[in-house]
Amino acid sequence: MKITLVQFRRRPLAEENMWTAISLAKNEKSDLIIFSENWLSSKAINLDDYIYYIEKIGNILDSNILGGIQYVNENDSIKSVGISYINRKPVRICEKINPSKAVGEREILARGKYIEPIKVYDWKIGCIACVDIFYPEISRLHAINMADIIYNPASISGESVVLWHSVLRTRAAENVVYSIGVNNTNTVYPDQRITAGESVVFNPHGDKILELGSEDTAITVSLDYDYFDFVNRRWAFREDLINKYSNIYKSFFKENN
């Protein structure tokens, strides 16, 4: 499958960010276009507006979209939610389960719930919202639910990029999945830190197969499904997870979701 990663500096207006995304991705030929965290707006927008922007991008680019995650107003609360546009239908793919302590999200965001991986063509993709990637239980549950790809739309500051990459590499290898992180570029945090870009892709062996720089760009990467056979012949990590530990993870999330 060909996947286009889109990273750029967020502008003040959601409409402007939508057209920036379209401009960057319009010449890429891929099966799926994916985005970062709060790339549309730093403020909470109505859920219907978020869906509108994702649908419009998908229709203009004639592509499936994983629309990152976005602060939204829903049922009189603010949540961080991920919306996709797959086969011309909007689908919820993600909610932030553990709001960030560092940027004060715990004072404004309602806790989200776990959402199972979605299917895109013959691949299953599990979305993990930004800081939730540091909670390995979420990735493990995606793997138990047969995810082939872990997708982490994020907003990571420059001093944390190396750590972020190391976690994404670990999630790829320990779960035998492709691991993809998409980050904003040169965007100001609430505490004035700056996001760094450097979106990245790791294969199921933990090898880095793509790393972007700090520029605004859209880059396409091809993922090979046959590579799973090679890794699974060498490593029993995924097999043991499913056969030995799946009930533990499923019961834990059932109790806490």
pLDDT tens, per residue, the chain with 257 residues? 999 999 999 999 999 999 999 999 999 999 999 999 999 999 999 999 999 999 999 999 999 999 999 999 999 999 999 999 999 999 999 999 999 998 899 999 999 999 999 999 999 999 999 999 999 999 999 999 999 999 999 999 999 999 999 999 999 999 999 999 999 999 987 778 899 999 999 999 999 999 999 999 999 999 999 999 999 999 999 999 999 999 888 887 776 67
> Which is it for strands 32-34 and 208-211: parallel, antiparallel or unpaired?
unpaired
**What is the b/e burial string over 158-184, where b = at least 16 CB atoms within 10 angstroms of the residue's CB?**
eebbeebbebbbbbbbbbbbbbbbbbb
**Following DSSP, what letter does each residue of 144-176 receive, concatenated?**
HTT-SEEEEEE--BGGGHHHHHHHHHHHHHHHT
Kindly tell me the sign of the dihedral angle through the C-alpha atoms of 165, 168, 173, 179. negative
Contact 202, 169 (CB under 8 A): yes
Residues 138/90/49/80 CA torsion (nearest 10 deg): 0
The rounded distance, in Å, linking the Cα atoms of 157 and 194 is 5
- What is the H or E stretch that residue 61 is in? helix 47-61
